[in-house]
Copies of this chain bind each other. A is one copy, B any other.
């Protein structure tokens, strides 16, 4: 990047940019250069330094962010509340395409974290943002990324509190820490599911995974018959998760356990059941699919497995006592995304948990569905 300074007799190595020798270990904070205009002396802050300071400093409207000019932010937690803390990192080429619009990358980074808060029943308090900038990322991309962060911070009530910018010889990497709050002791955990409860999901399942599959191979049989609007919808659901924060309060009131679906409905349900110590059955025919997903699956049955195990849903998976279903469903319907019962929990027993996972997925014909994989893992 232009403006990077090298040695100059100070004993500091010129950073190689090749992953070799570090040029420094001190890392400037997110927009520290904002306070440097009068302090930068003869070699001044670089253009990019100032750009970052301007772009992100202007987002720091929360008083505790101190204009991003301090080492840390402060936040006065709401009395009588627990903090809910989550931190997800995203890497170009692993979690998003390097050529994705920077504003979309920003949204994904914000929303996968806000989705965790929603699933725990929390309202957002703010976010901390760190990102590592590769050599080929230009000012326009940085500005678009900042715009995406700022718009989501505003729209979801999750102000930017602080963070860090660093350079990397590797891919663009983003880490966000989201902070939320729930009344003390009311976080909705994964571990609260009990036998005899409904398994529910918000919205529709599989659109994100199908959007990814479409992008990787638009010529697949399942996608040939989709109209442009359907293809655009799937592509958009892959790029732009929709954190279901509108359901957070109702989850606290009505759900026994919840999580957001990031790694596939089947695998994530298995995780929730396992940590709760219960079994469960999902009726595949009950899993809500969008019209586009239904059309894709009808044309290529293999895509049903993609939808059920593919991840990128960022819908809420929850277990709910039957007498609370109506109340929870009403809130989901009012919020526009709806709620669908896809199965039920049961006590774990040798007969009820044939594969040790505690989860059976039943195909429309009543037989256990054979899946080649349950969910995607990084390793």
Q: Spell out A's residues near B (CB within 8 Å).
A: 1, 3-5, 8-13, 15-29, 32-33, 35-43, 45-46, 48-49, 52, 64, 66, 69-77, 79, 81-98, 108, 112, 116-117, 119-120, 122, 128-132, 161-171, 173, 175, 177, 179-180, 182, 184, 187, 189-191, 208-210, 212-213, 216-217, 220, 238, 259-264, 267, 270-271, 273-275, 302-303, 305-306, 309-312, 355-359, 371-379
Contact = CB atoms under 8 A, between A and B. Distances in A.
B209 A164 contact: no
A244 B17 CA distance: 32
Given A9-B305, A70-B259, A170-B170, 16 more contacts: A5-B376, A11-B209, A11-B305, A12-B213, A13-B212, A25-B262, A25-B312, A39-B270, A72-B116, A72-B117, A72-B180, A75-B85, A83-B179, A91-B170, A128-B177, A169-B171
Copies in the complex: 2
Given A216-B21, A273-B39, A262 B26 contact: yes
9 contacts: A3-B379, A11-B305, A24-B378, A35-B190, A36-B271, A39-B359, A40-B270, A130-B175, A164-B175
A87 B41 contact: no
A377 B33 contact: yes
A84 B73 contact: yes
A173 B169 CA distance: 11
A180 B119 CA distance: 25
Given A92-B19, A128-B85, A169-B170, A24 B376 contact: yes
Contacts of A131: 89
Contacts of A17: 93
Given A27-B95, A164-B89, A262-B26, A187 B13 contact: no
Contacts of A9: 302, 305, 372
Question: Of residues A41, A49, A128, which shows the largest number of chain B Cβ atoms within 10 Å of its Cβ?
Answer: A41
B69 A190 contact: yes
Nearest to A73: B85
A70 B39 contact: no
A189 B273 CA distance: 46
Contact of A167 (B76, B85, B129, B378): B378
Question: Of residues A85, A208, A371, A374, which shows the largest number of chain B Cβ atoms within 10 Å of its Cβ?
Answer: A85
B122 A38 contact: no
